[in-house]
Structure 1
């Protein structure tokens, strides 16, 4: 389980949290702690990695329109989602095989860090230590469960029942992985993760259709999230099936290459949904300003993927917690500088098209980072 961790690297975060004062410091420390295979798993994507770069480009092509001379002495970054107060409208997005980044069992470390802070965590069905043990690790955290379909209807229903029994706030079906993509960083090294060797039932994901969405909605009351929506047409079909959450995602650029950036897709989905469902989005989000852009554009929750992996690899549970603290600090300062005191005051009038100033890459949000993005 600990294939990615060099044994000498057991990071302890001091009570003062002085080790990490900028988000890029997590990335730098993660690079020290991880072997090349695990590193490429975080930073890489499918084939030419174009979709991944477009995720960052889409964010960088949005500028702010700040308002001034408003009283912003008190800024509150919290929101209410799933009937719970959250310190930020942030969910730690589902990442498979998180256990390779932390010897303690990463899914549990991540959910504890998120729970301590007050953010949501979505557990991937292919991340250890599994649904029940993660619930035991953080029973009071806002937990969501994401499924890759690896069996028939009986398999799906069993997973839904287990999520309900363990008090997960919502159930998520991932729908953009009908075929596993070509991850060329792995192929070039002839590297196959242990979790991929254990994977079975891939044909069920290939055969997944809307009938499974109907099955879940007809039989279970738990809120349903559909992850991997990338067009208004599919958003409309999801609404017809009564789906409560539309999850805009391109899998971090790790599935279909040459897709659109998530923030280029989001306005289309917002226009199609028209408030009839809630909207999640992920894909390249790793700064407080990124979160603000998504919420202003109409999203309700922003998923944090790679940033959570870097924080976890850098300092485990405490790293995840500290990363969220720094995101909150960035959010509060940016909201105040925009002239608003809460996310509720934001709308798309605070956004404006712009020209990106950084060459898009997995690291373009961190100009002080001294890591070569494509070295392997």
Structure 2
């Protein structure tokens, strides 16, 4: 019976190519940050309140105009067809059925139009699917703008711009396994360039991308823009000054620069830096409902999960992802009840204790994010 994220990973490894399993699990360098993301949550402790009198917990959220029935988002992950023949379409149906926001990866093996159609098919009463689109700004700004229009036309409600990848991370597992490209028959559907007769471009990581490109993007779209991968408090403050609408606090799951801190360790400082002016979503190491509670109490309005989604898709396709999201919802509701909380909004920072520094640092009250 699949009862934990570890159960999904174990089941997935029995079904898929070990090389692809390594691609999902692996990170950069010695994978210190990969391990740190989960270990940091384990070090944090919850200090519950009692006699709070709430029969039910409110789990719904609203982030930048997107409403969801759960604060657990699906972070952008590449190449879903590596583990399931329906790929991102199956993931989208599961997310829509759960009422969870799915961030569509630019490196999807299913086109955003088909992902949106799958989500509409599974959504309740034909409601528009809560989809966001993850973007690497390409040196070819014309291609980038066309891709933004494409995501907008498909119904995506926000752009998540990855900014921690001036170059690709060094994935030693993939190098040892010789996993350097997608198998025949699979491609990054969003990198097909109609201007060149359908040529498939590689995703370009460019060290020249700067704040000027964020300003350019802000001028080309009315969609909310979140930055994914800004870890330094000063960059968080700069994001606010440049008109960014939100942050996805992420270290790319440890897949870019190894030895950077776990995201949950950085969360109180980032929350203080933005001072409630923009919402923060956190990903990296979220494996339990108690992890969700800790992140929300420390300043996030929602969390994202990446590798768990891939393991669930590999283990059971659409049904596997639905079960995973149900599991997170059940664990979150249970943890909130035991913490004496009536829902996911307004959780106080003193709910969380860390052995090294006692009560969590207070963060400024957030607005518009939860």
User: Which whole-Å deviations, capped at 9, do the CAs of 1:36-71 have from their partners, x for residues lacking one?
Assistant: 111101111111001111111221121011011221
State which of 98, 110, 118 in structure 1 corresponds to 2:99: 118
Q: CA deviation at 1:193?
A: 3.1
Give yes or no for contact 1:117–1:325 (8 Å, CA) kept in 2: yes
> Is structure 2 residue 184 aligned with structure 1 residue 183?
no
Q: CA deviation at 1:189?
A: 2.2
Q: CA deviation at 1:236?
A: 1.1
> Is structure 2 residue 338 aligned with structure 1 residue 337?
yes
- TM-score norm. by structure 1 comes to 0.85
- TM-score norm. by structure 2 comes to 0.86
Gaps of 5+ in 2: 121-127, 189-199, 357-370
State which of 32, 51, 59 in structure 1 corresponds to 2:33: 51
Gaps of 5+ in 1: 1-18, 356-376
User: Which whole-Å deviations, capped at 9, do the CAs of 1:317-345 have from their partners, x for residues lacking one?
Assistant: 11111111111110011000001110124
Q: CA deviation at 1:305?
A: 0.6
Q: CA deviation at 1:81?
A: 2.5
Q: How many residues align?
A: 336
1:267-286 equivalent positions in 2, closer than 5 A: 267-286=268-287
Secondary structure in structure 1 of the residue aligned to 2:206: helix
Instruction: Evaluate the alpha carbon distance shift between residue 187 and residue 23 of structure 1 in structure 2; reply closer, same or farther with a 3 A threshold.
Output: closer
| Alpha-carbon separation, structure 2, partners of 1:187 and 1:172 | 28
Q: CA deviation at 1:82?
A: 3.7
Secondary structure in structure 2 of the residue aligned to 1:33: coil
| Alpha-carbon separation, structure 1, partners of 2:261 and 2:286 | 15
> Is structure 2 residue 113 aligned with structure 1 residue 132?
yes
> Is structure 2 residue 89 aligned with structure 1 residue 108?
yes
State which of 4, 24, 42 in structure 2 corresponds to 1:42: 24
Structure-1 residue corresponding to 2:212: 211
The farther-off stretch of 142-151 and 327-336 is 142-151
| Alpha-carbon separation, structure 2, partners of 1:200 and 1:37 | 24
| Alpha-carbon separation, structure 1, partners of 2:233 and 2:59 | 29
The farther-off stretch of 91-100 and 183-192 is 183-192
Q: CA deviation at 1:84?
A: 4.2
